[in-house]
Amino acid sequence: MYILGINAYHGDSSACLIKDGKLVVALEEERIRRIKHWAGLPIKATQFCLDFAGIKFGDVDYIAVSRDPKAHLLNKIIFTLLRLPKITSVIDRLNNRRKIRGFYKELAAAFNANGQKLKNKIYNIEHHRSHLASAFFVSPYERAAVLSIDGMGDFISTMWGIGKGNKIKVFGQVKYPHSLGFLYTAITQYLGFWKYGDEYKVMGLSAFGKPIYLENMRKMIKFKHNGGFKLTLDYFIHQKKGVKMAWQGGEPILGKLYSDKLIELLGPARGKEESLTHRHENIAASVQALYEEVFFYILDNLYEKTGCDNLCFAGGTAQNSLANGKIFRNSKFKDIYIPPAGSDAGTAVGAAYYLYNQILYNPREFVMSSSFWGPEYSEENLKSQISNLKNRGNFLIEHLDDKKLIEKAAKFLADSKVVGWFQGRTEWGPRALGNRSILANPCDPKIKDILNLKIKKRESFRPFAPAILEEEVLNYFTENKPVPFMEKVFSIKPEKRKIIPAVVHADGTGRLQTVSRENNPLYYDLIKEFGRLTGVPILINTSFNENEPIVNKPEEAINCFLRTDMDVLVLGNYIVLRNTK
């Protein structure tokens, strides 16, 4: 049985394919189209999934879409009639829903399928149930509390319940217009970060400030007795004017969320080009603190309702690794599973598994312990790309076996060279985890500025992640938990901070990735060899890109290498250096 999972007409459009309950392939559309957070119908990602599995579109038994236009329809109608939002906002929403309802026609046209026959294969799965499924049904737990928090999807912003075996039971939810994700996004916009997905910049900025505006910000939200919350809507405009959204293909755009009352509360908003000040850092710290207050209130109530020690968490805010890293200390949950694609891309996988497990009553077959579900390229392909590279400049190129490759690459890293590392299958989710990574020496205090200014070309306040051997975590961090998908921030032990200054953020933390030999043997061996040379079993790991989606193809890795000041490119078993003589 083949099930195609799709996240369509939403940010981080994506597709996946499962066969007899096991994931075969998953890919975000942005990786192919080279536009961050690409929104629309993922035709190219779908075609790639089919090609990877060696099947035709007609071989797919079911298609699961992570949106359901009929979900909470009465609530949507009542809200619209009572609020009377701007007609342009209503038209935008109707156009988007029309796209979701009729997307099978566009899909049928793209794959020369019979439209009516195709329509009978399609299951629309509610957005947040897809999020819950993307975490629980691929987790290692037989029983777990389940939680999804994001901006908004199918008129819901937050959903919680319990997962048992092949069933998820929902206990509660928070409806539009109340959204913890929207609150964080509103402050993100207020701080001058307007691009879709910029919330992670505020999270990074928060480490430099103090939450001195927290008391004021508490006026923006109120707790409810059922474990939910309500926004104080005077500080927002989305409930009155709607939210201007562009999901039709290309980079998604989200309109302004905050009202003038927020400016009365916090003072003037930051202009896009205005320099960041300590006031802005304090506001970032305050919204992070407020998010955590609400988040842990939800978790406390969820634990009391379920009594489960296990938590499965997904949704856009599951990317808030700073809060995630505090779950063990600030809640009663003892084990946590957050999938590598906790954001909306992951709902493609969630919709497919919700259909397979919950609707079709199949037992669970699969645990997602790896993030490597995208394309990989043959030795012949890599050799061809290296041959083309020889015509573009003067390079020193070697082809080495694995052992010599590891030894040489580790020596370059120990000498503070910046290495582009391209191996195996592309990662699923927003983070490079050792197959499409830029690697560097965490012991070199100068390397952070080199990476930010000359390679990543991004804001100087942004931190870099430490990738550490799984068995070494307790030697460097205050928590001893596996973090395979770089989804949690832990405190670095004070005595170790001077040893690895390039990965210590302003608050003494690091967003770590724990690496096991079982999960990625080549990457593990590289870190281990670097540790043998330096005494430090840690590498800086940042995504292989430069203000673009993470590289997917070898030629994209080569182009990124050529247009930046990267020192070394490792492409499979090839090592490439610029010949400066």
Up-side HSE of residue 348: CA atoms within 13 Å toward CB? Answer: 33
Region 377-387 average pLDDT: 97
Fold of 379-578: DHBP synthase (3.90.870)
Question: How far is it, in rounded angstroms, from Cα 377 to Cα 369?
Answer: 22
Q: What is the pLDDT of residue 283?
A: 98
pLDDT score of 77 more than 90: no
pLDDT digits (tens, 9 = 90+) for 185-197: 999 999 999 999 9
Q: For residue 304, what pLDDT band results from cuts at 50, 70 and 90?
A: very high
Of all helices (H) and strands (E), which one includes residue 77? Answer: helix 73-83
φ/ψ of residue 314, rounded to 5: -150, 180
**Residues 134, 350: contact at Cβ < 8 Å?**
yes
Residue owning tokens 């998010």? 291
- pTM score, whole prediction: 0.95
Residues of the chain with CATH 3.90.870.20: 379-578
* Side chain identity, residue 413: L
Angle among Cα 186, 189, 194 to the nearest 5 degrees reads 135
CA-to-CA separations, 203 to 185, 238, 566, in angstroms, rounded = 11, 23, 27
Query: The domain 2-128+349-353: what is its CATH number?
Result: 3.30.420.40
* Side chain identity, residue 437: S
Compute the residue count for the chain.
Answer: 581
**Residues 540, 465: contact at Cβ < 8 Å?**
yes
Which stretches of 394-537 are assigned E, i.e. beta strand?
A: 395-399, 419-422, 436-440, 465-469, 488-491, 509-515
Q: What is the pLDDT of residue 85?
A: 54
Average pLDDT, the chain: 94
Residues of the chain with CATH 3.30.420.40: 2-128+349-353, 133-343
Q: What percent of the chain is helix, strand and coil (3-state, nearest 5)? A: 40, 20, 35
Q: What is the pLDDT of residue 70?
A: 83
pLDDT digits (tens, 9 = 90+) for 485-513: 999 999 999 999 999 999 999 999 999 99
φ/ψ of residue 103, rounded to 5: -70, -25
Question: How far is it, in rounded angstroms, from Cα 326 to Cα 335?
Answer: 12
Q: Output the six-digit token pair for 506.
A: 């302003």
pLDDT score of 104 more than 60: yes
**Residues 375, 180: contact at Cβ < 8 Å?**
no
Query: Does domain 133-343 bear CATH number 3.30.420.40?
Result: yes
pLDDT digits (tens, 9 = 90+) for 273-294: 899 999 999 999 999 999 999 9
Q: CA Rg, the chain, in Å?
A: 23
